[in-house]
A and B are shown apart, each in its own frame.
Chain A
Amino acid sequence: MTEFEEQCGQLCTELHAAWAIAKKDIRIYYLKPNIIVSGMLFPLFMFLAFAVGRPAEPTVMIPGLIAITILFSASSIEPVSIPIERRMKTFDRLLSAPISLHTVVLGESLSGFLYSLGIAFVPLIAGIVLFRVPIIGFAALVAGLLLTSFCFATMGTLFAAYPTENPGDIMSMLNLVRLPLIFVSSSFQAYSSPWNRSPKSGSS
């Protein structure tokens, strides 16, 4: 077996292990109450707080809602799962397995990534079907969904690296970043976006 084949074999093994970790997280954490609150309900209520009673166009609000949903859902799994696993000592099982630390990080992040993609489809479909928000760049939309989901999932993993066994410690620090991000990213209130000046040309 050549060195290249060996490396390919090792890569497949690592990817398989990452997928196993993601599957484990999906089974255990997706329906945990604190994940549902943080990943689904929090962005919904945040959206309602901004949207209700305001004459904002759906073409502005729906992309914002999708972005906030991804931000919160993607970064909600690991800050809960990793401290809990530290407390239960199951994280040692991952750390002592014959896989690299990168694989553990990838596997953990993958569950947040897939979770947020699934959740993001709810406002996306609602925007298209209920509010008739047009998609003007399908490839850009897909790329945006994938990229933001992946980045925010890894951001959640990064914060979960803080050595604590209490998810609340990590969530508090994470919210110091996530909440200001809602405003500085102008997801709901675009400071000088072309859509504010010309609402009819909006897109999601």
Chain B
Amino acid sequence: MYAIEALSLSKRFGNLQALSQVDFTVSEGETFGFLGPNGAGKTTTIRILTGISAPTEGTARIFGRDIVQDTIAARRQMGIVHETSNIYTDLSAWQNLMFTAELYNVSRKDREKRGADLLELFGLSERRDDKTNGFSKGMKRRLTLAMGLINHPRLLFLDEPTSGLDVQSNLIIREVIRDLNEKGVTVFLTTHNIEEANLTCDRVAIINRGHVAAIDSPERLKKTIQSVQSVEVAFDPVSLVRTEDLEQLPLVGEVIKQGDKFRLMTEDPPSVLNEIMAYAKAHNVRVISVNTLGPSLEDVFIRLTGLDIRTKGVKTVD
């Protein structure tokens, strides 16, 4: 049995087609990433899969339960961590946890033990009785995650769990996700951070403008976008450097000027580094910083919605 089956999901808001014929399955125990830019349809998909919003067409099943017809039974299997840290800021961390546990019908004894364990796990024990309006963004996010786990879910929905967080909160959350996965919990993760998906997901679906563009493992997806790596370089003085000159360098495809830096698109960053140094010496300018950059999500989309995706061997979804 699949943890999630999305079958031809479509969602229309007036004239806007937010989702169009989205199909995928997530196996039990899998960590599945759902990647896309803002407005791609990630949150709409989560809202449908969690029964908050009904699909215009198609259906979804959670552990075999239809989310529209058998909503309550389906929801009992899941924990949800929404995109916003939607905690009650007038309540304490403990009250937030206990309230969520009561909504999920967790027994008093179980919720008190589970609540204490989760606060410990997320490093919030010392602040358990403090009102959460004084919590930092990272603490609120960790509490939101704790609230999503209070009912021992078999399936956890995480909507942008680490977006804009500090390093400590990021590490804790990633560690918890890995730990949950080892315990057999299915994780459905939406993010626009491809590196986060790379670190945590078994498989990834890329969604753009309501369509699933590709579904595969992170490594196979990354192989398709090696050609959109880049080198970011800053020169001093920048006024002596011309974009047209940089475009003439061997192995450089496109050059984009970004503030006082130049981004050189290439398939071979190490070779381009040597060319940049030679260029700097020849033009009597100093290189003050160099970074090699992996493909951004935007690059991935350009590639995945391009022409030669099939030749790269990625399983695409028409």
Contact = CB atoms under 8 A, between A and B. Distances in A.
B50 interface: yes
Interface residues of B, number: 26
Contact residues of B: prevailing secondary structure: loop
Contact of B52 (A92, A98, A99): A92
A24 interface: yes
Contacts of B80: 93, 96
A21 B76 CA distance: 18
Given A27-B90, A88-B89, A92-B82, A17 B51 contact: no
A109 B211 CA distance: 40
A200 interface: no
Interface residues of A, number: 21
Contacts of A89: 82-84, 86
B91 A27 contact: yes
A93 B100 contact: yes
A99 B71 CA distance: 9
Contact of A93 (B82, B89, B95): B82
Contacts, number: 63
B88 interface: yes
B105 A17 contact: yes
Nearest to A94: B103
Contacts of A92: 52, 82, 86
B104 interface: yes
Interface string B142-165: 000001000000000000000000
B178 interface: no
Interface in B98-125: 99-100, 102-105
Contact of A24 (B51, B75, B76, B88): B88
Contacts of B104: 97-98
B87 interface: yes
A20 B50 CA distance: 21
Nearest to A12: B105
A98 B84 contact: no
B75 A96 contact: yes
B82 A98 contact: no
A95 B52 CA distance: 6
Interface in A81-127: 88-90, 92-100
B156 to A, nearest CB: 13
A191 B75 CA distance: 54
A98 B72 contact: yes
A119 B193 CA distance: 52
Given A27-B91, A27-B95, A96-B50, A90 B103 contact: no
Contacts of A99: 72, 103
A52 interface: no
Nearest to A32: B90
A13 interface: yes
Contact residues of A: prevailing secondary structure: helix
A93 B91 contact: no
A16 interface: yes
A19 B103 CA distance: 10
A28 interface: yes
Nearest to B105: A13
Nearest to B98: A20
B178 to A, nearest CB: 25
Given A89-B86, A90-B87, A97 B95 contact: no
Nearest to A27: B91
A100 B76 CA distance: 12
A96 to B, nearest CB: 5
B89 A97 contact: no
Given A16-B105, A89-B82, A92-B52, A97 B88 contact: no
Contacts of B89: 88
Interface string A4-32: 00000000010011001101100110000
Q: Which of A28, A88, A93 counts the most chain B CB atoms within 10 A? A: A93
Contacts of B73: 98
A24 B91 contact: yes
A21 B99 CA distance: 8
A24 B90 CA distance: 10
A93 B105 contact: no
A97 B91 contact: no
Interface string B231-245: 000000000000000
Nearest to A24: B99
Interface of B: 50-52, 71-73, 75-76, 80, 82-84, 86-91, 95, 99-100, 102-105, 147
12 contacts: A16-B105, A21-B103, A24-B88, A24-B99, A27-B95, A28-B91, A92-B82, A96-B82, A97-B75, A97-B100, A98-B105, A100-B72
List the 10 shortest-distance A-B pairs measured between CB atoms, nearest first. Answer: A20-B102, A98-B75, A89-B86, A97-B103, A89-B84, A28-B90, A98-B76, A90-B86, A13-B105, A98-B72
